[in-house]
Structure 1
Amino acid sequence: MRIGELSRKTGVPVPTIKYYVREGLLPPGELTSPNQANYDEAHERRLQLIRALLDVGGMKVAEIADVLKAIDDPARPLHKVLGAAADRLGTAGTEHDDTESAAAHAVVADLISRRGWQAHESNPAAADLSKAIAAMARLGHGAFVEVLDDYADAAEQVARADLAYVDRRVAVEGMVETVVIGTVLGEAVFSALRRLAHVDASAKLYGTEGPPERNAN
């Protein structure tokens, strides 16, 4: 297909497609003349993946480029590809150097050790967890650590579901792409499900009369 048809099928403007090609996110089409190129279903699928990582995953173009390099590297183990995607889901910002931060780091290190997780406390996700726990402590909610293992139990169950889905894919290329989709887009799915569950649990716990409002958060 020509670039115009690729644009129509994916909803991605032609200038944006050309930009993705220049940045190495999308392989160039097969040249049929100096100014014409053909694109196929692989280009369409890659474009859909890029848009999903941008629009749903909230990733930046440079971050997506790094993840796609991991996907396209046949020598990269699946575990490393998952790490490349997961590491780019972290929050930005400077970490505080205070008592709450030190205590939070200790809590996270203990959690990882107690649960036998094969992850180091220097992992970006561990750093994000520490920052969140420290922020809660500064707001007077240090007791949140008492339910941390409940959250960890749920996280383990979700992680097993993620990888069970990945394992269904037979082709290596499909498995690698599915790892990224399950990690980045699965994060968005779980976050949305958690918000829906909050609405339901809150209604049941605190009581409501009649059906919940459509715009309930």
Structure 2
Amino acid sequence: MRIGELSRRTGVSVPTIKYYVREGLMPPGELTSPNQASYGEAHERRLRLIRALLDVGGMKVADIADVLAAIDDRERPLHKVLGAAADLLGGANTEQDDPEEVAARAAVTDLISRRGWQTYESSPAAADLSRALAAMARLGHGAFVEVLDDYADAAEEVARADLAYVDRQVAVEDMVEGVVIGTVLGEAVFSSLRRMAHVDASAKLYGTDGPRERKAK
């Protein structure tokens, strides 16, 4: 297909497609004449992945380039691709060396050790968790660390579901792409499900004729 058709099928403008090609996010089309190139299904698939990582995953173009490089590296083990994608989901490094931050980092280190997780304490995910716990502590909710294992249990279940989906993919390209989708887009899926579950749980607990209302009657 020509670039115009690729644009129509994906909803991505021609200038944006050319920009992605220049930045190395997707390969150029096959030249059919000095001024014309042909694009195939692989281009369309890559373009849709880029847009998903950008629009749903909230990733920056530079970070997407790093993830796609990991996908295209056939020598890189799947768990390394997973790590590359997960690391790029981390927030900005805004650590503070106050007592709350120190205590939070210790709690995360203990969690990793206690659960025997094969991860490292300096990973972006661990740093994000430490910052979140420290912020909670500063707001008077330091006791949140007491429910970390409940959250970790749920996280392990979700991780197993992610990788079970990946394991169903047959082609190596599909498996590697599945790892990225499960990590980046799965984050958005889980966050949305969690918010929906919160609304449901809150309605059952605090809504009309919930336990607290029944006690008051």
- With the length of structure 1 as denominator, give the TM-score of the two structures: 0.95
Map 1:13-32 → 2, pairs under 5 A: 13-32=13-32
Match of 1:139? 139
Query: Do residues 73 (structure 1) and 50 (structure 2) align?
Result: no
How far apart are the structure 2 equivalents of 1:198 and 1:6? 40
5 Å-filtered alignment, 1:36-115, equals 36-115=36-115
Partner of 2:212: none
Which amino acid counterpart does residue 43 of structure 1 have in structure 2?
H
AA paired with 1:21?
Answer: V
Partner of 1:175: 175
Deviation at 1:94, TM superposition (A): 1.4
Question: CA shift at 1:137, angstroms?
Answer: 0.2
Q: In the alignment, what sits opposite 1:214?
A: none
Structure 1 residue aligned with 2:213: none
1:82 Cα deviation after fit: 0.5
Alignment-mate amino acid for residue 182 of structure 1: G
Cα root mean square deviation, aligned: 0.7
Q: What is the rounded CA distance, in whole Å, between the counterparts of 1:162 and 1:98 in structure 2? A: 36
Cα distance in 2 for partners of 1:22, 1:120 equals 35
Q: Distance in 2 between matches of 1:109 and 1:98?
A: 17
Deviations 1:77-98 (A, max 9, x none): 0001011111111111411111
Aligned length: 209
Q: Aligned residue for 1:203?
A: 203
Shift of 1:208: 2.9
Amino acid at match of 1:42: A
Match of 2:190 in 1: 190
Aligned-pair identity in percent equals 85
Paired AA for residue 136 in structure 1: M
One-letter code of the match for 1:168? R
Secondary structure of 2:88's match? helix
Question: Are 1:164 and 2:141 counterparts?
Answer: no
What are the Cα deviations for residues 32-56 of structure 1, in whole angstroms up to 9, with x where unaligned?
A: 1111000000000000000000000
Q: Which runs of 5+ in 2 are unaligned?
A: 210-217
